[in-house]
Structure 1
């Protein structure tokens, strides 16, 4: 092979690799490195203009120093008002930090919520019963949350049918419509049926300046790399689309 051709091929491979690396590893997260046009807190640029902020946690965050977390609220312009905690996954997997965190969130005056990570390959009714058995919600708590991120290779109609079984059973038990958590893309692709628009929508949409979803939404999980005092690991940050009074109105009566 001529030297010039070998050099051209080498240059082509370098350019192709660089373009692929940028497309898959840099471009989706470019928002992290953009200049912060607003106020920065919790290690990230906070979205404008929301008054009510919160986090969500699971066993991935490890042991939480609730006293330090509470004290932080006295020092910031973006106090944490609400906390969602993972309670269950599938029909048998409980989060081993849930009960302690759920109790301590109430003790320190946070508005608390519990969520279930849906497993498409597991019987939906069994999942609902497992959540109900695990989670006791009281006055002032947020409605139960269904976290939907996977299809489990189910068809769109099969997935929707399974989700409705969980949602209907849980609503019948707690007497309140559950919150539906999923990403912007997942919602528009798999849950665009009007029957799912009746649930309070919690949207996961990272590295954007604002929510582009055209429908009604209540919560926005805007980053997964927040740094919060009292929590050693990175944590998801959220905002509520309304006032604190609106959030309290959403809680169980």
Structure 2
């Protein structure tokens, strides 16, 4: 009887084949367990490496952004002063006439205590106050601050915050109705900080209309306040160089602006006795006699 027809022989053959497969002597079309794990292990290693790299990149980017926006602008405050430190900040060297500018943000001011700052090594001589904004917004503290500044012997000035989307002449007339300047007061100030999405030429035309209207009424050229970057970008027309310039440029040792300027707002974090909140500090580019010559006669 042949093995083909022998059931015992067939069973033994199956066992032999199975045993051979276990020992690896016979190849199989199905991958082994080790073969299955190998590519998975390799993929896991690569994904872990990529995750680590991505984490490093994210942390690096976050650190750069944090430094650029939150540390770099204030780094100057931590530098040792080359000159004098007063009011919690480094005072720019080479300037003797100091002042502040205030609004409702500073709250109620202790004018008696503020007056004592005239006796410090960097005495305060002048104060600018916010009077109006746009075509119908009064600063709630202006009237009292304006009277107190004169009564306490400070050279005073008033400024208007310009809103490009509101008619320039309406804004000028609103300021005129609100602010009554006397001899000895500084010229009115136009504070320009935003474009209001206006085209550059249209923005300049509106500002010029405000300046012309104010000069015609008060008989003196207004002071133009804006940052160094804003002026060089939007008010670079030579017609604006005819006005006294009050430059806002924070946390630097000196003004980099190449043109003529009269006032420099060098910090917005001054700590002045008599004022609870932080306050802007300014210097005048000249002597006290020159500052008085700039006032309304």
**Could you state the TM-score of these two structures normalised by the residue count of structure 2?**
0.84
CA RMSD for the aligned pairs? 0.8
Q: Residue by residue, what CA displacement relative to the aligned partner does 1:107-147 show, whole Å, maximum 9, x if unpaired? A: 00000000000000000000000000000000000000000
Say whether 1:72 aligns with 2:117.
yes
Q: Which residue of 2 aligns with 1:187?
A: 231
Of residues 8, 12, 15, the one that matches 2:60 is 15
Q: Which residue of 2 aligns with 1:26?
A: 71
Say whether 1:84 aligns with 2:128.
yes
In structure 2, C-alpha distance between the alignment counterparts of 1:233 and 1:84, rounded to whole Å: 16
In structure 1, C-alpha distance between the alignment counterparts of 2:77 and 2:186, rounded to whole Å: 30
Say whether 1:61 aligns with 2:118.
no
Q: Which residue of 2 aligns with 1:38?
A: 83
Of residues 172, 186, 190, the one that matches 1:146 is 190
Q: Bigger CA drift: 236-245 or 4-13? A: 4-13
Residue 29 of structure 1, CA deviation:
2.1
Q: Bigger CA drift: 65-74 or 105-114? A: 65-74
Q: State the aligned residue count.
A: 252
Aligned pairs (5 A) from 1:62-211: 62-74=107-119, 76-211=120-255
In structure 2, C-alpha distance between the alignment counterparts of 1:143 and 1:72, rounded to whole Å: 24
Residue 199 of structure 1, CA deviation:
0.2
Which runs of at least 4 in structure 1 moved beyond 6 Å after TM superposition? none
In structure 1, C-alpha distance between the alignment counterparts of 2:273 and 2:62, rounded to whole Å: 39
In structure 2, C-alpha distance between the alignment counterparts of 1:88 and 1:209, rounded to whole Å: 32
Residue 41 of structure 1, CA deviation:
0.3
Residue 66 of structure 1, CA deviation:
0.4
Q: Which runs of 5+ in 2 are unaligned?
A: 1-43
In structure 2, C-alpha distance between the alignment counterparts of 1:22 and 1:200, rounded to whole Å: 35
In structure 1, C-alpha distance between the alignment counterparts of 2:57 and 2:203, rounded to whole Å: 44
Residue 4 of structure 1, CA deviation:
2.3
**Could you state the TM-score of these two structures normalised by the residue count of structure 1?**
0.98
Q: Which runs of 5+ in 1 are unaligned?
A: none
